[in-house]
Each structure stands twice: as C-alpha cells, then as structure tokens.
C-alpha cells in the first residue's frame, strides 16, 4: 500500500471513529467503479459493498427506530427510515465529514465533479458501513452508524403524520400490499356553493374506509383517517 493510500486510510478512520484491521477493505469501500475501470491493478470497486451496506443501514435504522419510539406505528417508522436512508440525506452526511475528497475516482468522473456527486457520496457511506461490518463485525458497524447518524436519530420529526393521513395510509399500503390507495367519489349532493362529497378509499380490491366533506380533498382525508383506524381488520397484511 502506498503512502498516499495509508494517509487516506488514517484520515477516513478518524472521520468514522474506527480503525481497520485490514486497510484494503477501506480502500475498496472508497473505490468508485470509474477508478477500477482505469486501473489495471485494481480488481474491486465499492458496488458490492454498497449493496450489503444498504441492507445493513436499513436493518440498523429499523432496529434503532423500533426501540426509540414504542408508540410509533409502521407508517411513521417507515417514513423516518426512508428519510434518513435517502440518497440526499446520505450525501449530506458524507458532505458534513468531507468524505468526497477521499473517494477514488476515474479521471473523467473527477473532472465531471464526481467528488461532489450525491450518488457517489451516498454509495460511499453505505459501502463504508459494509467495510466496517466485514472488518470488525456488527458491534463496530453499529458504533460507526451511531457516530454518523446519532444526531439525526436524536432529532426525529415529532409528528410525521399528524395532519397527513393520506400519506400515512399510502405508506402502509405500499409496505403491506405493494399498491397505493385509490379514492373514488361515491356520492355528491348539494348545490355547487355548498356541495358535500362522500369518498371511499380502496386498497387492492378491499374498501378500507369512507369519509365526507365539503370538498373531495377533505372527504379523501377523512376516508384515509377512517381507514387507518380500521386497517388491521379491513386490510390484513399480506
């Protein structure tokens, strides 16, 4: 390993709060495919690590969120996990620790601003979590995860779905049934200036709830609220 590589390893180890036993794992986690394609002596890039790191991140987030808020339902937990594990958020974490300058990039990718490209930054965060896991096991991966994501986990949005029952219902429907709720007007009455709407929401082929209001939007919101109250009975998880 060259001196430049050893220097990069030391600096990234300080950023992560973890010292690698096998430095090559760290180097691979920082290696973009464009670099491997240009270097005859480089046989690995970080794509495989990114794949496993994505799964590790999802698991650790789910575990932490599940234990953190015993009152949060599935929709809220999923929304928090999706927010924290999103590409833009991972890129922001990488930017905060200055990770971009340590990614091994091909010449073309570097000229195109690859050190600032959000997808490269996000993939590197996931790959690094995987590298720590492979090098030091789940306990150390959790520690690095805490170092990177701890502040966000302390400051979760307080009421993700307080006034968004349609958003919560859509999240749950996507998780459980791989589909989205469909809203349909089943009744409309009254003059145009004082109309009333009755809307039914259907998940899959099962009616899940009805609501009424002075506008379609208000009736849909009420239907979603009713569906959320009834969803264990009306739409069992598949």
pLDDT the model gives residue 235: 44
As a whole number, the mean pLDDT across the chain is: 89
**Assigned CATH for 3-154:** 1.10.1520.10
**Cα torsion at 7, 11, 14, 15 (round to 10°)?**
-160
Q: Which residues are catalytic?
A: 54, 126
193-221: per-residue pLDDT in tens? Answer: 889 999 999 998 889 999 999 999 999 99
Shortest CA distance to 105 belongs to which of 54, 50, 148, 42? Answer: 42
pLDDT digits (tens, 9 = 90+) for 127-156: 999 999 999 999 999 999 999 999 888 877
Pairwise CA distance, residues 1 & 25, whole Å: 12
Domain ranges in the chain are 3-154, 165-233
Give the residue from 117, 148, 109, 107 showing the smallest Cα distance to 18: 148
pLDDT > 80? residue 6: yes
Check residue 161 and give its pLDDT.
Answer: 53
Q: Would you state the pLDDT for residue 232? A: 55
pLDDT at 156: 76
In the predicted model, is pLDDT for residue 1 greater than 90?
A: no
Joined together, the tokens standing for residue 50 give 């990114």
Please determine, looking at this structure, whether the domain spanning 165-233 carries the CATH number 3.30.160.20. Answer: yes
């Amino acid at each position: 390993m060259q001196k430049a590589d050893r220097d990069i390893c030391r600096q990234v180890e300080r950023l992560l709060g973890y010292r690698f036993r096998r430095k090559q794992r760290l180097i691979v986690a920082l290696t973009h495919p464009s670099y491997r394609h240009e270097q005859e002596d480089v046989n690995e890039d970080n794509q495989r690590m990114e794949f496993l790191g994505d799964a590790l991140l999802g698991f650790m987030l789910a575990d932490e969120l599940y234990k953190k808020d015993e009152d949060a339902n599935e929709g809220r937990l999923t929304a928090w996990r999706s927010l924290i594990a999103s590409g833009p958020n991972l890129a922001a974490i990488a930017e905060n620790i200055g990770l971009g300058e340590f990614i091994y990039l091909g010449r073309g990718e570097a000229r195109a601003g690859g050190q600032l490209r959000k997808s490269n930054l996000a993939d590197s965060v996931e790959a690094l979590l995987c590298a720590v896991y492979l090098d030091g096991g789940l306990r150390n991966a959790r520690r690095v995860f805490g170092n990177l994501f701890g502040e966000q986990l302390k400051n979760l949005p307080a009421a993700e779905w307080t006034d968004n029952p349609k958003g919560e219902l859509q999240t749950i429907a996507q998780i459980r049934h791989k589909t989205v709720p469909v809203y349909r007007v089943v009744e409309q009455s009254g003059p145009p200036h004082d109309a009333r709407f009755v809307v039914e929401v259907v998940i899959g082929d099962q009616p899940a709830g009805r609501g009424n209001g002075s506008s379609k939007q208000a009736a849909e919101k009420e239907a979603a609220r009713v569906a959320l109250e009834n969803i264990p009975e009306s739409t069992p998880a598949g």
